[in-house]
């Protein structure tokens, strides 16, 4: 015999059933109490080029975007120096997302194509890089010689090293692309900047990044030899990249990460004063606020996750045989995402 509910009792029963259904739906969308958080491990380097990551960390934007997507994400941050260290950490599984130059990205893309398939997720913005020298005789790369020592994050493979090779090829032909490599030494940016500012060491050159290059130019003996914008135009020298497996196994985390990065780019682009405060918290109070303001007021710097002008360097490295696999466009070494569809 079936029980038939009527009147207020029936209405109350329907309400209880509806609440039960809603609770079930919420349980599928929200993490359960005590549910293990997903861990995202991100590596960055020194300088304002990595400001978007400083903002993401400072404002806890990954955690914020994760909660909005129903995910609990714990972020582990590590700071490394140089593309080779980044690539080694990524391929060893020590990190999930690497932040490094277009040079190291192309190296690891070429090395892993058809296997682990490392590709870029996004850009960190548009920044001019300066080749600086304290040698008064050096006014162009043609003046560099055995007495010069140029600091850069990694010999031969960093974005600065690749830019120097690109400049040499433009000056003397592709066959001379490595002509200036013997004059380069691997030194992290902070140490190289300190050496060039103080003088008195054998290091008399530095292919630098902001804000270190601005700090170094405060020494009257230091001058600009080469501007990366003169080589490529406004370009995205630093990128964020990951393995295909990580992106396939953690699609929601990757989307959260890109949403957080995009939010950071909007903040940095629209409120440089707030961005400066965040950078000082990350870099330390010894950072000169006047110098920092001058750097961030530079209209040539643009904070955007959309890559710009990465292709000329990729084409050059392919043409000169550095890359064994030839990319046909910038999209070959980037993961497809609508947020960066207008890249280059």
- Which residues lie below 8 Å from residue 292, measured CB to CB, with a gap of 6+? 211, 276, 279, 280
Distance of alpha carbon 239 from alpha carbon 102, whole angstroms: 6
What does the pLDDT read at residue 287? 86
What does the pLDDT read at residue 286? 82
The pLDDT tens digits of the residues spanning 311-339 come to 999 999 999 999 999 999 999 999 999 99
Please determine, for residue 43, whether its predicted confidence score (pLDDT) is greater than 90: yes
Number of CB atoms found within 10 A of residue 287's CB: 16
Q: Where in the chain is the domain with CATH 3.40.190.10?
A: 38-127+236-340, 130-232
| pLDDT grade for 83, boundaries at 50, 70 and 90 | confident
Please determine, for residue 290, whether its predicted confidence score (pLDDT) is greater than 60: yes
Q: What is the pTM of this model?
A: 0.85
Q: Find the range with the poorest average confidence among 12-21, 69-78, 138-147, 156-165.
A: 12-21
Q: Find the range with the poorest average confidence among 25-29, 98-102, 222-226.
A: 25-29
Q: Does domain 38-127+236-340 have CATH number 3.40.190.10?
A: yes
Going through the chain in order, the beta strands assigned E by DSSP cover 38-44, 73-79, 97-101, 119-123, 130-133, 150-152, 184-186, 205-207, 223-227, 238-242
What does the pLDDT read at residue 285? 82
- pLDDT above 70 covers a percentage of the chain that reads 90
Distance of alpha carbon 306 from alpha carbon 72, whole angstroms: 27
Q: For 130-232, CATH number?
A: 3.40.190.10
| Residue 237, phi then psi, degrees to nearest 5 | -80, -20
What does the pLDDT read at residue 60? 98
User: How far, CA to CA in Å, does 20 sit from each of 12, 23, 34, 60?
Assistant: 12, 5, 21, 33
The pLDDT tens digits of the residues spanning 240-264 come to 999 999 999 999 999 999 999 999 9
Q: What angle do CA 41, 43, 48 make, to 5 degrees?
A: 135
Residue 56: closest CA among 271, 335, 239, 267: 267
- Which residues lie below 8 Å from residue 141, measured CB to CB, with a gap of 6+? 131, 164, 167, 168, 171, 180, 225, 226
Please determine, for residue 25, whether its predicted confidence score (pLDDT) is greater than 60: no
The pLDDT tens digits of the residues spanning 184-204 come to 999 999 999 999 999 878 999
Please determine, for residue 10, whether its predicted confidence score (pLDDT) is greater than 50: no
Query: What is the mean pLDDT of the segment spanning 28-37?
Result: 50
């Amino acid at each position: 015999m079936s029980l038939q509910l009527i009147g207020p009792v029936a209405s109350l029963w329907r309400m209880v059933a509806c609440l039960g259904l809603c609770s079930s739906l919420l349980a599928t969308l929200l993490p359960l109490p005590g549910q293990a958080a997903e861990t995202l491990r991100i590596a960055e380097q020194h300088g304002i080029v990595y400001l978007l990551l400083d903002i993401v960390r400072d404002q806890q934007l990954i955690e914020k975007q994760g909660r909005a997507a129903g995910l609990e994400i714990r972020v582990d941050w590590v700071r490394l120096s140089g593309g080779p260290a980044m690539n080694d950490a990524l391929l060893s599984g020590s990190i999930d997302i690497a932040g490094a130059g277009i040079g190291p990205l192309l190296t690891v893309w070429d090395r892993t194509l058809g296997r682990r398939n490392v590709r870029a997720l996004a850009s960190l913005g548009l920044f001019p890089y300066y080749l600086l020298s304290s040698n008064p005789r050096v006014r162009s790369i043609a003046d560099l010689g055995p007495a010069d020592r140029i600091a850069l994050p990694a010999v031969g493979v960093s974005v600065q090293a690749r830019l120097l090779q690109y400049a040499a090829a433009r000056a003397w032909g592709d066959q001379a692309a490595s002509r200036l490599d013997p004059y380069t030494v691997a030194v992290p940016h902070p140490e190289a900047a300190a050496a060039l500012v103080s003088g008195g060491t054998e290091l008399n050159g530095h292919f630098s990044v902001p804000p270190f290059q601005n700090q170094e130019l405060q020494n009257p003996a230091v001058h600009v030899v080469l501007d990366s914008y003169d080589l490529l135009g406004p370009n995205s020298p630093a990128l964020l990249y990951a393995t295909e497996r990580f992106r396939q196994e953690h699609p929601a985390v990757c989307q959260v990460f890109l949403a957080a990065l995009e939010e950071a780019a909007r903040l940095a682009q629209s409120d440089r004063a707030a961005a400066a405060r965040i950078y000082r918290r990350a870099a330390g109070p010894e950072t000169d606020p006047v110098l920092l303001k001058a750097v961030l007021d530079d209209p040539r710097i643009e904070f955007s996750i959309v890559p710009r002008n990465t292709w000329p360097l990729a084409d050059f490295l392919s043409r000169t045989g550095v890359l064994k696999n030839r990319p046909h466009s910038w999209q070959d070494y980037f993961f497809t995402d609508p947020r960066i569809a207008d890249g280059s």
